[in-house]
A = this chain, B = another copy of it.
């Protein structure tokens, strides 16, 4: 090739090697230097441009690493064949749709999601976070145990024993960034399980995760004391997903009889398992807590999933799963390569939050705050008399009401909405499209204060009066 006609700018801010690199790259891209052309040797180009040899070396190294030229041993540098099918400078086409959600006006929102953050112990949280960061515990920034840090698992283990009567060891606990993640991990673990039995209505998110993980779902009958085990037997299901302490959304508590039947079913075949989602068991307002199903299982057939989303906060993204021995061995063998998904600092904060007693105090406080709200909701609703039936009271952060005024679910919701109140459709929790209740709605109360609850329900009382024909 001819000598490169490059004029270097010694005074500019661009390094010399980069000027050389840019020049040659542009000459190649524009076709001025053709493919297969031999470039001058680094030594001769350096002499020609009056720069050091290493400057040219750096430019050539960059051109090689980006594939514009190649070094042929004992021969020299050659321009590569570049089929520039895509113009690098062409603006990228975009079919962008702006996805911000419209801002909603201020409503009294009986959402079943979220918690009351008014009483969150920010002070303690800050204190623990500070003290952990102050210690400069460098190891907390390095990779940790794929199942989660041992201290946190030990504290969760103690908590489960005290509060839920669950006997496990820290070795059987896996921490993860939320229930969706842990259930996805579980689906990966259980890839021989094809069919999962679920109640209907049920927790939609679990259904969606199973479906997204290519599991088939069969819905089975539910009676007033829990899932109908006989109807599971009539399916191909090898796994069943239940919430024995407080079914979502109906609030049913599974009876001891049903629990035993379910364990018996699981024991009839190898590799049959029960997933117990114990999502809000911390909040039971009247009577003693309902013990976990895993607590009465001596046969290692229950997969227990718990979360800090309700008991601490949704945004900390922390859940835990207790696996039976057989599955834990499978986990170690098959999928323990998966990195832990929760940051080690967050794990250390929550671990200390449990260990120093803050978690227990916080739970007791929140239980009493939610109990007051719950009781207020129930006493206000009871003023509607026979107009409504209440389901799933005494626990959790929501209830279901059936409104017997002739209105459909949609009419109930639309009319409430027009009056500035949001209540939620029960029908969306049915996974087989065969909802039994066409006139029931879900009302959460965690995020509302007392006056909002009272105002909201008194408005509902007015607009749901038995004159459904007007709408």
Contacts and interface: CB of A to CB of B under 8 A. Distances in A.
A334 B208 CA distance: 9
Contact of A298 (B18, B65, B93, B117): B93
A363 interface: no
B143 A315 contact: yes
A223 to B, nearest CB: 11
A196 B339 CA distance: 22
B130 A260 contact: no
Nearest to A17: B287
A82 B256 contact: yes
Interface in A90-111: 90-96, 98-99
Nearest to A35: B257
B338 A180 contact: yes
Interface in A356-379: none
A154 B179 CA distance: 27
A179 B122 CA distance: 31
A209 interface: yes
Interface string A304-332: 00000000011111100000010000001
Interface stretch (A132-140, A398-406, A428-436): A132-140
Contact of A129 (B87, B129, B140): B129
A80 B142 CA distance: 54
A257 B341 contact: no
A67 B297 contact: no
Contacts of A143: 113-114, 314-315
Contact of A208 (B141, B290, B337): B337
Main secondary structure of the interface of A (DSSP, over half): loop
A33 to B, nearest CB: 14
A255 B180 contact: no
Interface residues of A, number: 111
A58 interface: yes
A334 B93 CA distance: 24
B339 A209 contact: no
Contacts of A287: 17, 21, 58, 61-62, 65
Contacts of A394: 61, 65
Contacts of A255: 66-68, 80
6 contacts: A61-B394, A66-B255, A68-B256, A113-B143, A208-B337, A341-B341
Interface of A: 17-18, 21, 58, 61-62, 65-68, 70, 80-88, 90-96, 98-99, 113-115, 117-118, 120, 122, 125-126, 129-130, 133-134, 136, 138, 140-144, 167, 169, 171, 177-181, 184, 188, 191, 204-205, 208-209, 212-214, 225-226, 253-261, 263-264, 286-288, 290-291, 296-300, 313-318, 325, 332, 334-335, 337-346, 394
